[in-house]
Amino acid sequence: MTDAQQFASDNYAGICPEAWAAMEAANRGSAPAYGDDEWTTQASDAFRALFETPCEVFFAFNGTAANSLALASLCQSYHSVICASSAHVETDECGAPEFFSNGSKLLIVPTPDGKLTPDAVRALAVSRTDIHFPKPRVVTITQPTETGQVYTVEEVRALSAMCRELGLKLHMDGARFAHACAALGCAPADITWKAGVDVLCFGGTKNGMAVGEAVLFFDPALAQDFDYRCKQAGQLASKMRFLSAPWVGLLGSGAWLANARHANDCAARLAAAVAGLPEIELMFPVEANGVFLRAPEPVLEALRAKGWRFYTFIGGGARFMFAWDADPVRVDALADDIRAACAG
């Protein structure tokens, strides 16, 4: 028995059919443990084919671990990581990046939309060069940002050029990486290694999997001993095939992109339906699968009273996130209720 569909989080969704079918297939019979299985080999190869490059691929249970361990692998404890003030690594990972790196400090750039710019990176990176300040080593960007803004290919290229000039590595938190690819209509390679990204955390959970993120190192040298890091952090799945098989289903069928496209379309659908309502303001441009609405408190109250769930942790606005399974009929029902709440 499930409740009526909600859009409070894209993690409310279940497992998409392609991921589920692959898990079911992986469940027939037994297979070697700890990643020495056919599914894990196939999934890794599928990533290399999709990204058109022989990258190193690892699988973690969640995004916090993927990000934290990836950043830790790029840093010594005396290093620092430049990120946006609203970055998930800063606001939603409970200090895990600092913990797994044994103290690498996050340096925060305040930005309105979660996007970093080359100028902001430079200003922070060169603000101190003395021995008393943690040495900048990595820039991490979220693609798309926590509020749904998508870096263009040119923007990623400009950031990586600045990173190279300053001797910094570039990490991408791609918890919704597929949604960025769908929004830009570009190949995954175009906004990652071809644009100068060194390490990508590619989210599976928000793309239709039960659980799991992939960590892709485009420079194999940076992946050295990453397997030990995963194991020590409790991220080496003994029955690895259930973490890797869903990727075979998602990547092989193209569902990774179709899921993201559908989610983005549903966000655009809601945004279009409430555009022009006098009491409603879009807090951010809708470029991916999220819609952030600023509305008077009585309007939000009326929506809650109608049973809608949403978070207001970003600037007090209502956040609606759409997943692979978002039902356009429910999206329209939400739009109708927003309209009614404004009229009421």
Ligand X SMILES: *Cc1c(COP(=O)(O)O)cnc(C)c1O
Q: Binding residues for ligand X, per CB under 6 A?
A: 62-64, 67, 88, 142, 146, 173, 175, 205-206
Q: How far is the CB of 203 from ligand X (least distance, A)?
A: 6
Is 196 or 212 the residue whose CB approaches ligand X more closely? Answer: 212
Whole-number Å distance between alpha carbons of 240 and 59:
8
C-alpha distances in Å from residue 106, one per residue of 11, 66, 97, 269: 26, 16, 8, 36
Q: Can you read off the two tokens belonging to residue 239?
A: 């029955």
In terms of CB distance, is 42 or 142 closer to ligand X?
Answer: 142
Distance CA 223, CA 70 (A): 9
Q: For residue 206, give the DSSP letter.
A: G
The whole-angstrom separation of Cα 295 and Cα 246 is 39
Q: Which is nearer to ligand X, 177 or 193 (CB)?
A: 177
* Residue number with CB closer to ligand X (42 or 205): 205
The residue at minimum Cβ distance from ligand X is 63
**Shortest Cβ distance from residue 329 to ligand X (Å)?**
26
Give 196 or 204: the residue with its C-beta nearer to ligand X: 204
φ, ψ for residue 291, nearest 5 deg:
-130, 125
Based on CB atoms, which residue is closest to ligand X, 9 or 41? Answer: 9
Q: Between 206 and 261, name the residue whose CB sits nearer to ligand X.
A: 206
Q: Using CB atoms within 10 A of its CB, is residue 72 exposed (0-12), middle (13-18) or buried (19+)?
A: buried
Q: Give the nearer residue to ligand X in terms of CB position, either 66 or 331.
A: 66
Q: How far is the CB of 157 from ligand X (least distance, A)?
A: 21
Task: State in angstroms the smallest separation of the CB of 42 from ligand X.
Answer: 23
Smallest separation (angstroms) from ligand X to the CB of 173? 5
Closest to ligand X by CB, 72 vs 280, is 72
First to last CA, the chain: 32
In the complex, the smallest distance separating the C-beta of residue 138 from ligand X, rounded to whole angstroms, is 16
Task: Give the DSSP per-residue string, 105-156.
Answer: EEEEE--SSS---HHHHHHHHTS--STTSPEEEEEEEESS-TTS----HHHH
Rounded to whole angstroms, the Cα distance separating 287 from 267 reads 8
Distance CA 85, CA 108 (A): 5
Shortest approach of ligand X to residue 283 CB, angstroms? 17
DSSP character string of 303-329: HHHTT---B-TTTTPEEEE--TT--HH
Q: Indicate the residue type of 213.
A: E
Q: For the CB of residue 64, give the shortest distance to ligand X in the complex, in Å.
A: 3
State phi, psi for 213 to the nearest 5 degrees. Answer: -135, 150
CB of 119 to ligand X, least distance (A): 23
